Amino acid sequence: MNWQAFWLTMRLATVVTLLLGILSLPLACWLAFSRWRWKFLVEALVALPIVLPPTVLGFYVLIALGRESPLGRWWQSLTGHTLAFTFESLVIGSVLYSLPFAVQPFASSFAAVDRRLLAASAVLGRSGFYAFWKIIIPLSVPGLVTGVALAFAHTVGEFGVVLMVGGNIPGVTRTLSIDIYDQVQSLDYVAANSTALVLAVIAFVLLSLVYSLNRRYRRLWPRPFPM
């Protein structure tokens, strides 16, 4: 078991999940409530990583972060080293790659909040921002838990994007999934087997957590109005 790769993977997934939690709230809110006619284009863009080969996404991210790009040059002038093949580049690539897994559950649970409750809030003199924190967020807890857990699990399990933008630098960009690849390449099937098992268990535990939490939450708030 490569503990260095394990902790790197956990650190990456945690950072990415935190960033996604923050980014996805306003984005999901906009997707759920905006009446802009071209909204579907943004929806499609957000969902793109689900269907795109990770190598395609990774390739574009690599180009965007590279020494030739404005972002890459800005980063270099700021920090003195390049952005590609660093932990930060992994974070950026992973945020983009896992975005739909957070945004979609968030947005669909926001959209499922009864509009009459939001109307009641407005009639009572409260702003949309107040209603967001007091009504929408508390009533969307199952969706928020699902989004956060899926984003985390998906980041733990990613391979293609990491390989494209991060390379394979021990302690910096070598995550568990890359480690398995390495172990198989060097015909170390025993090590590959144990790493694969760790990843499978993490994914299973996270998903079980999501489903059990959602079930308990539903019992906590039974459908209040049978009318």
- Select 37 or 78, whichever has its Cβ closest to other proteins: 37
Structure tokens at 163: 């390989």
Kindly state the smallest distance separating residue 223's Cβ from other proteins, in Å.
8
| H-helix or E-strand spanning residue 107 | helix 87-111
CB 94 within 8 A of CB 165: no
From the list 71, 79, 114, 204, which residue makes contact with other proteins (rule: CB under 8 A)? Answer: 114
- Select 38 or 129, whichever has its Cβ closest to other proteins: 129
Q: Which stretch binds other proteins (CB under 8 A): 54-62, 74-82, 121-129, 187-195?
A: 121-129
From the list 15, 135, 172, 207, which residue makes contact with other proteins (rule: CB under 8 A)? Answer: 135
From the list 121, 146, 175, 195, which residue makes contact with other proteins (rule: CB under 8 A)? Answer: 121
| H-helix or E-strand spanning residue 191 | helix 189-220
**Per CB under 8 A, does 117 bind other proteins?**
yes
- Select 78 or 227, whichever has its Cβ closest to other proteins: 227
Q: Which stretch binds other proteins (CB under 8 A): 48-56, 103-111, 123-131, 155-163?
A: 123-131
Using a 10 angstrom Cβ sphere, with 0-12 exposed, 13-18 middle and 19 or more buried, the burial of residue 197 is exposed
Cα separation, 77 vs 100, whole angstroms: 32
**Per CB under 8 A, does 145 bind other proteins?**
no
**Per CB under 8 A, does 188 bind other proteins?**
no
78-95 in b/e form (b: 16+ CB < 10 A) is eeeeebbbbebbbbbbbb
CA 85 from centroid of its chain's CA atoms: 20
**Per CB under 8 A, does 138 bind other proteins?**
yes
From the list 119, 169, 201, 209, which residue makes contact with other proteins (rule: CB under 8 A)? Answer: 119
- Select 131 or 198, whichever has its Cβ closest to other proteins: 131
- Interior CA angle at 6 toward 18 and 89, to 5°? 50
Structure tokens at 109: 């649970």
Residues in contact with other proteins by CB under 8 A are: 114, 116-117, 119-127, 134-135, 138-139, 221-225, 227
